[in-house]
Structure 1
C-alpha cells in the first residue's frame, strides 16, 4: 500500500509528492546516514517539537494493515519524569489517536529508563501509554520495527528485529488497565517520525533516522 526507501530522493530538505510533512520546531532531511551509506530520512526536533512523514489518503482494506520501518534513535529523554514520545501515529474519522510505537521515561524502573509502549489519546480511553519493563527503548542502534493493526478486536501487535513482543500487545479489552473500550477510528492518515510532549526535556533536541518504510496487507518482515 505504501513504501519508501529514500534512495531516489535528492539529499537535503525532504520533498516529494508521495507523502506530506507535519512539523513544528522540527525538520525532515534526506541524508546519507544509513547502513552501507544508504540514504535515510533524518528527523530532528527541538524541545517538545514534532517532525513527521505523513501518509495521507491511507485507507487499508478492512481497516487492518501491517507496517515495517527501520529506525535509529540517537537519544531518548531522561527528564522530565514520565516524558512521553511517539514515533508512529495513526488517525482517522474517529476521536481515538492510535500510537503503535512510542514510549515513556519511567523514573520508577531501574533508577529511570525509557521504555517502549503502545498508546492512544482521545476517545473513551483518554491518554495512555502501555509501557513494559521488558521492552527498553534502545538508543544508537538500527532496529527493524514491525507492527500489525487488526480491526477485528482493535489489536496492535509488535515485532522487534523479527521477534514478536506479545507483552506489548494491546486490544479492545486489554490496553493498560483502562476500564473502557479501545476502538480504532476508520484510518485515513499514518505518520512516522518523532514527537515529545513535555516542555524543557533532557536532552533538549532529538534525532531519529528512518528507512525502508512499508505498509501492506501482509507482514513484510525484516529480510526484504
Structure 2
C-alpha cells in the first residue's frame, strides 16, 4: 500500500512538472543567448528593455503618426510593437552603423497584422538602409498590386538615379498574421540585395547593379551608416498598421533563423 501511494504522489508531481518542461522547450520559445554570438554588428532581442515606450540608448527612433512600444507576447516574451496610422511611419534606427566592406547580413523575426489594399499600388517599407550617397535602399518592402489583387514582397529604392521602384514578384506574396524569419544580404561587390524567408532563398527578389526595377542606370549602394526597422506606408490611407518584431540582428556573416 505504501508503494502504491508513493507512486501516485510521484505521478502527480511529474504531471505537474511536465507542462512546465514542455513550455520551456517548445519550438516557439526563445533560444537562450540570441544576442550573445560573436561577430554581430547589432542585436536586439528586447529582453532587457522595459515594457512600455520603445526607446533605448542603443538605438534611435524615427516616427510620424506612429509609435514603438515594447510589450509581452502570448508566450510572455518581450517584442517590439510598431504601430502607424494612415500613411505614417515608425522605425527603430541603428545609427553610426558601419559594415566591413559596406556589406552585411540582416535578420528579423516579424509579424504584420494586415497589409494595405488601398489605394492601388500602395507601397510599404519594413527595412531601410541609408548613408553617404543618394540611394535609399529598401531590402524588405512591398506593394499592393491591384491587377493581381495581391500584396507582394519586393526589394526597392528611392532618392538616387534609379528612381523610386519596388521590384515585387508574384512568387513572393506578403503574408499577414503569422511570424516569419526574414534574412537579407547587402553585397557591395555588385550592389546586390538577396532575401531568405524562413531559411528559404527567394532568388526572384534579388537585385543588383544592372538588374533592378528602376531607371536603366546602375544601382549603387551608399556608404551605409543607418539601418531602420519598422514600417512606412507612402500613399494616403485610412488604416492602422500593427507590426511586431523580435531578434533583430546585423552581422558581417549570415546569421540564420
TM-score class, shorter:
over 0.9
Separation of aligned partners in 2, 1:25 and 1:176: 29
Are positions 1:105 and 2:140 aligned together? no
- The whole-number CA distance in structure 2 between the counterparts of 1:53 and 1:76 is 20
**Would you say 1:114 and 2:151 are equivalent positions?**
yes
Moved over 6 A (4+): none
Higher helix share: 2
CA displacement at 1:200 relative to structure 2: 2.2
Structure that is richer in strand per residue? 1
The corresponding residue for 2:55 is 15
Task: Determine the C-alpha separation between the residues in 2 that align with 1:134 and 1:107.
Answer: 16
Q: Is the 8 A contact 2:105 2:255 kept in 1?
A: yes
Match of 2:14 in 1: none
Alignment of 1:148 onto 2:188:
no
- 1:94 lines up with 2:133 in the alignment: yes
- Larger C-alpha radius of gyration, 1 or 2? 2
Structure 1: how far apart are the matches of 2:55 and 2:65? 18
SS of the residue corresponding to residue 125 of structure 1 reads: coil
Q: Give, in angstroms, the shift of residue 177 of structure 1.
A: 5.8
Are residues 1:82 and 2:121 paired?
yes
* Structure 1 residues 7-42: Cα deviation after superposition (integer angstroms, max 9, x where no partner): 0111011121100000000000000026x3210000
What is the count of residue pairs matched by the alignment? 217
Q: TM-score, normalised by structure 1?
A: 0.95
Distance 1:119 1:55 in 2: 19
Computed over aligned residues only, the root mean square deviation of the Cα atoms, in angstroms, reads 0.9
Structure 1, unaligned stretches of length 5 or more?
none
Alignment match of 1:183 (pick from 216, 220, 223):
220
Partners of 2:242 and 2:129 in 1: how far apart? 21
Q: Which blocks of at least 5 consecutive residues in structure 2 are unaligned?
A: 1-40
Could you report, residue by residue, the CA deviation over 1:131-150 in whole angstroms, capped at 9, with x for unpaired residues? 00000000000000000000
Could you tell me whether the CA contact under 8 Å between 2:165 and 2:214 is conserved in 1? no
Task: Tell me the residue number matched to 1:69.
Answer: 108
2:64 to 24, 49, 66: 24
- What does the per-residue CA deviation read over 1:159-179, in whole Å, with 9 as the maximum and x for residues that have no partner? 000000000000000002631
Superposed CA deviations along residues 88-117 of structure 1, whole A, max 9, x for unmatched, are 0000010100000000000011xx110000
Cα separation, 2, equivalents of 1:28 and 1:167: 32
